[in-house]
């Protein structure tokens, strides 16, 4: 499969991954998702990428964009932290937690795990996510940076005890 479609260029680091390159890949994905821009996020995935997100199955770029638009119209003020769990060859496993609120200002922290498989261009071709939502009080939020990329000095999941 060629990534000749506009925007689907190679996205280093490329597999096979080392610990350092896997950590860079995880932080890059976190940064991309924290844009909350489906039209940008989609370019981290191969055009024929397949996902399982909770109980929903998503196939290809158009479905990814539609899925993310639905997601972020519901999950407001979304902020995400990802952490490397394991890696090998062209695969990475991460754990993550994100905070968001609904349109009634009910806050949640969603916890999960993802398994990723990459193509030779460093684009994710398979993504499997398991996620659980925990209602939290606004006062219990831990992610209070300005929307967008998590600041480099903000603690990660382990440092936050999550």
Instruction: Give the bridge partners for 116, in sequence order.
Output: 92, 127
Instruction: Give the bridge partners for 93, in sequence order.
Output: 86, 115
At residue 148, φ and ψ (nearest 5 deg) are: 120, -155
Residue pair 100/75 in contact by the 8 Å Cβ criterion: yes
3-class state of residue 124 by DSSP:
strand
In this predicted structure, the answer to whether residue 4 has a pLDDT above a threshold of 60 is no
- Establish whether the linkage from the previous residue to 13 is cis, with ω within 30° of 0: yes
3-class state of residue 68 by DSSP:
helix
State residue 21's pLDDT score.
Answer: 98
Task: Give me 49's structure tokens.
Answer: 């990428």
Residue pLDDT, tens place only, 77-105: 999 999 999 999 999 999 999 999 999 99
Residue pair 61/105 in contact by the 8 Å Cβ criterion: no
The CA–CA distances, whole Å, from 41 to 58, 69, 77, 89 equal 14, 11, 17, 23
H or E stretch covering 106: none
State residue 155's pLDDT score.
Answer: 98
Question: pLDDT band at 131, cuts 50/70/90?
Answer: very high
Q: Which CATH class is domain 19-160?
A: alpha beta
Question: pLDDT band at 6, cuts 50/70/90?
Answer: low
Instruction: Collect all residues with Cβ–Cβ distance below 8 Å to 97 and sequence separation of at least 6.
Output: 80, 81, 109, 110, 111, 112, 157, 162
User: Kindly report the CA angle at 110 between 14 and 34, in degrees rounded to 5?
Assistant: 45
Residue pLDDT, tens place only, 20-35: 999 999 999 999 999 9
pTM of the model: 0.94
């Amino acid at each position: 499969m060629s990534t000749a479609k506009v925007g689907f260029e190679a996205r280093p680091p490329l597999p096979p991954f080392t610990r350092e390159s896997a950590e860079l890949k995880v932080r890059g994905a976190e940064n991309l998702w924290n844009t909350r821009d489906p039209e940008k996020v989609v370019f981290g995935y191969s055009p024929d990428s397949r996902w399982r997100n909770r109980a929903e199955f998503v196939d290809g770029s158009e479905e990814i964009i539609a899925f993310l638009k639905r997601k972020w119209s519901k999950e407001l003020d979304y902020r995400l932290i990802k952490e490397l769990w394991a890696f090998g060859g062209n695969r990475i496993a991460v754990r993550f937690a994100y905070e968001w609120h609904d349109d009634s200002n009910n806050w949640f922290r969603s916890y999960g795990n993802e398994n990723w498989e990459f193509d030779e261009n460093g684009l994710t071709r398979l993504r499997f996510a398991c996620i659980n939502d925990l209602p939290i009080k606004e006062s219990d939020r831990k992610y209070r940076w300005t929307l967008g990329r998590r600041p480099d000095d903000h603690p990660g999941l382990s440092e936050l005890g999550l």
